[in-house]
Amino acid sequence: MALYVKAAEILEKAERKQGALKTLVYDSKFANIKQLFALVCETQKFSSVLRELIESTKLLKHTKLKMHLAMVLVYDLVMGQGLKCGGSWKSTMLKHRSRLQAELARIKIKQKVSRNEDLLPAVVQRSAVDHLPRYVRVNTLKTTVEDAVDYLKRDGFSYQGQASRLEDLTLKEKDFVRDLHLPEVLVFSPKTDFHDHFLYKAGHVILQDKASCLPAYLLNPPPGSHVIDACAAPGNKTSHLAAIMKNKGKLFAFDLDAKRLATMSTLLLRAGVTCQQLAHQDFLKVDPDSLQYKDVEYILLDPSCSGSGMVCLRDNSSADQEKDQARLTSLASFQLRCLNHGLRFPCLKRLVYSTCSIHSQENEEVVKACLQQNPGFRLVPLLAKWPERGLEPLTQCLRASTSKTRSHGFFVALLEKHSGAGNMNQRPPLQISDPEATSHSSLTCEKRPEASETENKQTPAADSTQTDSTPGKKKRRKRKRKKAATAEG
C-alpha cells in the first residue's frame, strides 16, 4: 500500500505546483523509484479518464478514499497490471472492479474507440511532438556557466555552443547548448536525467523550466537590495533571486504551507542561499508599512493559479465548464488582491507578476485591472526578441508556450513605479533587452512631493531643473541690477 500512498502524495504535490513530477518522485527516496515513477506518470496521463470513472461510479462516497489515492488504485485495477497490494484496500477495490470496468467500456463506446490510449485528450496524444527540452539553470552561487560546461564536457556531453534560434533547442542525446535568451540556462534533450548527477546533488545546477526562470531574471534585483518573494515555495525562483543578488541584501520569502517551506529550506540550503528570511505567513497579511520592510524595492509575485500552462496538468480540466469558470474567477480575484497588496510597499521600485496559466483572465485581465487601480505604476516592455507577447493591448508582457518558446505555458509582467501619473504619457517606457544593462539607480525611494510641488509640472520641459547659469536667469539678474542702479540714482 506504501506505493499507492506515495504516488497519490506526489500527484497532489505536482497539481499544487510543488515541483516537477520527476523531481518529486526522485526526491521521495522511495525504495523502488522506477515502479513509482511509472505508476505516477501513467496515472497522471490518464487523469481525466480516471476522474470521470471515479465520479460516475461515486467511488469516493462508497470507499471514503481521497481523489488522488483513488486514481492510482483505479489505474492499476482496470488499466494497469493489477493491484500490487493486499489487505482491506485490495478487497475494497475488488468489490467495485466490475462497476469500474463496465463504466470504462461505456465511455469507450460513447467515444467510439477500442483502446484506452484513444481516450486521451488530443494534446496528450501529441506529447511525442511536444516533448520539451530539459532545461538546467546554472547556480552562480556555487559555480559559473563556463565551469559547468567544462564539467559536463568531461562527463561525456557534447557542447554545441550558444543557441541562436528556437530550432537549435532540438537536440540529440548527450548534446547541449546555452539558451538563446537566458545566459545561465543550459538546454539538453528531453530525456536527459540529472537527478543522480553530481552537479544537481551538489546544488551547482537547478532543474527549472526556462519560462520559470524569467521572473527573477527580469526583476534583476541588485546585490544588497531588499527583495520579497511573495508566494515562494517550492523555492526555485527564490534561489534564482539569491544568485542574482549574490547572496547580499535581504530576501524575504513567504508561504502559507509549512511543509512546502520545510522542503524549500532544504532546497535553499543545497543551493548555498544565505540571504533569505523565510516566514510561514500569508503575504496578504504582511504589513507594507512595517519597519522590517521599509527598504523593500523589488517584489516577485507568483501566486496560486490554475496551472493550465503546465504540460503535465493540461488534461485536468473538468467537464463542468461552469465550475471551471467559477474557479478561474476566484483565482483572478485572489491574484488581483495580491498584486494590489504588493504595490503598497512604500519604497517599491519594481514588481514582477507571473503565472503558469494560459488564461487571459489570470494574466492580462488581472494586470489591466491592477493598472487601472494603481495609476502610479506602468508596464515595462520586456525582451524585444522574445517570440511570444502578451495579448493586445498588453504586448509589453511576455507569454510562453510549448509551440512558440519550447517551454511550459507561462505569463510575465513587470510593473514599475514612475515619477508621477501626470507625466506618464510623456516619458518613454524603459525597454529591457538585457537586465544587466538596466540601471538600478534610475528609481529612488523618496518622499512623495506635496501637491503644491507638482501641480505646475505639466510638461517635461517644465519639469527640468534650471540652474543659475541659464540665459533666462542671467537676463533677470541684469534687469534687477539696472532697476537698483536707477533707484539709487
Catalytic residues: 356
Closest C-alpha among 20, 98, 9 to residue 53:
98
- Nearest-angstrom CA–CA distance, 456 and 143: 53
Instruction: List, in order, residues 6 or more apart from 132 with CB less than 8 Å away.
Output: 190, 209, 311, 402, 406, 407, 408
102 is known to lie in a ligand binding site: no
22 is known to lie in a ligand binding site: no
236 is known to lie in a ligand binding site: yes
85 is known to lie in a ligand binding site: no
Q: Are strands 377-379 and 226-229 parallel, antiparallel or unpaired?
A: unpaired
423 is known to lie in a ligand binding site: no
CA atoms within 13 A on the CB side of 162: 8
Instruction: List, in order, residues 6 or more apart from 315 with CB less than 8 Å away.
Output: 47, 48, 120, 121, 123, 124
234 is known to lie in a ligand binding site: yes
Closest C-alpha among 139, 268, 264 to residue 205:
139
DSSP 319: S
- Nearest-angstrom CA–CA distance, 467 and 211: 48
417 is known to lie in a ligand binding site: no
27 is known to lie in a ligand binding site: no
Closest C-alpha among 404, 405, 413 to residue 381:
413
- Nearest-angstrom CA–CA distance, 308 and 314: 6
Closest C-alpha among 69, 48, 70 to residue 58:
70
Feature table: binding site for S-adenosyl-L-methionine: 231-237, 255, 282, 302
- Bind-site residues: 231-237, 255, 282, 302
